[in-house]
Structure 1
């Protein structure tokens, strides 16, 4: 009996390896197609932008209108819009299927070969994958927040350094712009306030908010506009805007905004 279990376990292990290779191939194929379509789309947009007014005239000419409403053109435009969006979702789904299927089979083969007392279910691997993805997204978000924080701190530091130089020795300052050590600096305060208040508006919170209200508002808005739940055409765009707003409204930026406003009064 144990011998048969080991044979079955080795067969399942080999099957898991084959399935893993098949999934890797499918993921590579679809990733290549999506990347190719996105690359071609960027090239076309660049060519259209370079054409400028000439392109506009061509589009409104009889030939341009005929080409624009040609079924092949419509299908091409549709593919350039749909494939990058749905393709990435499909690739993510393939990665999810690969993980839960192969990990389940590897665990089952180990159970049969080594005589483990139990093996995990599909649901357990599904939960584990989602937890891993949430952890990955959290780390990526924290890294983006860290980089953005450093960028703002550097801009404010350079501006303060320029102001100190301008007051203490010499320099040039006019309408919020200045030159120092051969470089031109602009007061980042106005841009920071604008981005901060726009982020608050997107999440539906007051500029005088705190980090806890921001987190609550983000959960509500993210659930409302998540592309998997909201089928509106602009759901993906709105969801990304909400994520960007949440990443910007860190505890440090909330305090910086309050300090700026306090100093202005």
Structure 2
């Protein structure tokens, strides 16, 4: 009986590997189509930029105007429809790839070694994939926030070092420095740019400049839900969603404390 279970387990495992290869092939083909369509669209836009449509009209006359309509439709398809749909198809294929293959691999392991399956329901594998993707996004967001934090810390550190060096080497007057040869040099305090970016980020999320990290998180969840491209079909939803994410990344606990210490 155990032999038959192991044979069945190996068959299921082989089926899982085969489907994994098929899914990966479909994903690669879709990614290639998206890249090719984007490349063609950039090429056509480049021709437009150098007067391609004008030359078309010059040589073909009224026929050029007739050809203009299908060309514009083609541009819309290549530059907007295919990339958007392609990205969604790729995401869906990866989602299904994980669900199907992990489900089969768990069944195979169960028959081969008797190991308990991770989930009893097929849909639970989809939930696991979504949780993994969400955790991956959170980790990427955390890394970007840390990199941004380090960048600002480094800029302020360089500013303080430069400021102290200029005081010791020459005359310092409110951002202007006169070196050993009396030449005036200008150096912009990063606090000016930092404060501007901070206040813009607060305005995007709709929080006060004296905000805290908890208020920022709450405002972000509300704004992100309001402008998520899958829920909001307005033309500027995607752009606004990106700004909301950028604002949230900038308004870290460290940056909030830094702003309050300068103001």
Verify same fold: TM over 0.5: yes
User: Deviation at 1:98?
Assistant: 0.4
Partner of 2:195: 193
Aligned to 1:231, the other structure's residue is in SS state coil
User: Deviation at 1:26?
Assistant: 0.9
Partner of 1:83: 82
Whether the 8 Å contact between 1:197 and 1:207 is mirrored in structure 2 is: yes
Q: Using the TM superposition, name which of 98-107 and 221-230 deviates more.
A: 221-230
Cα separation, 2, equivalents of 1:102 and 1:153: 45
Partner of 1:152: 152
Partner of 1:162: 162
Q: Using the TM superposition, name which of 122-131 and 207-216 deviates more.
A: 122-131
User: Deviation at 1:56?
Assistant: 10
User: Deviation at 1:103?
Assistant: 0.2
Measured at CA, do residues 157 and 37 of structure 1 come closer, stay the same or move farther in structure 2, by a change above 3 Å? farther
Partner of 1:99: 98
Aligned to 1:70, the other structure's residue is in SS state helix
User: Deviation at 1:89?
Assistant: 2.2
Q: Please, what TM-score do these two structures have when normalized by structure 1?
A: 0.82
Listed as ranges, the matches of 1:226-241 within 5 Å are: 226-241=228-243
User: Deviation at 1:109?
Assistant: 1.4
Partner of 1:112: 111
Is 1:123 the counterpart of 2:123? The answer is: yes
Whether the 8 Å contact between 1:225 and 1:239 is mirrored in structure 2 is: yes
Whether the 8 Å contact between 1:108 and 1:119 is mirrored in structure 2 is: no
User: Deviation at 1:22?
Assistant: 0.4
Partner of 2:182: none
| The structure with more radius of gyration | 2
Whether the 8 Å contact between 1:177 and 1:187 is mirrored in structure 2 is: no
Cα separation, 2, equivalents of 1:131 and 1:203: 26
Cα separation, 2, equivalents of 1:104 and 1:24: 17
Cα separation, 1, equivalents of 2:218 and 2:114: 47
Cα separation, 2, equivalents of 1:56 and 1:195: 41
Measured at CA, do residues 209 and 179 of structure 1 come closer, stay the same or move farther in structure 2, by a change above 3 Å? farther
Whether the 8 Å contact between 2:41 and 2:79 is mirrored in structure 1 is: yes
Q: Please, what TM-score do these two structures have when normalized by structure 2?
A: 0.82
Partner of 1:211: 213
Partner of 1:26: 26
Measured at CA, do residues 116 and 163 of structure 1 come closer, stay the same or move farther in structure 2, by a change above 3 Å? closer
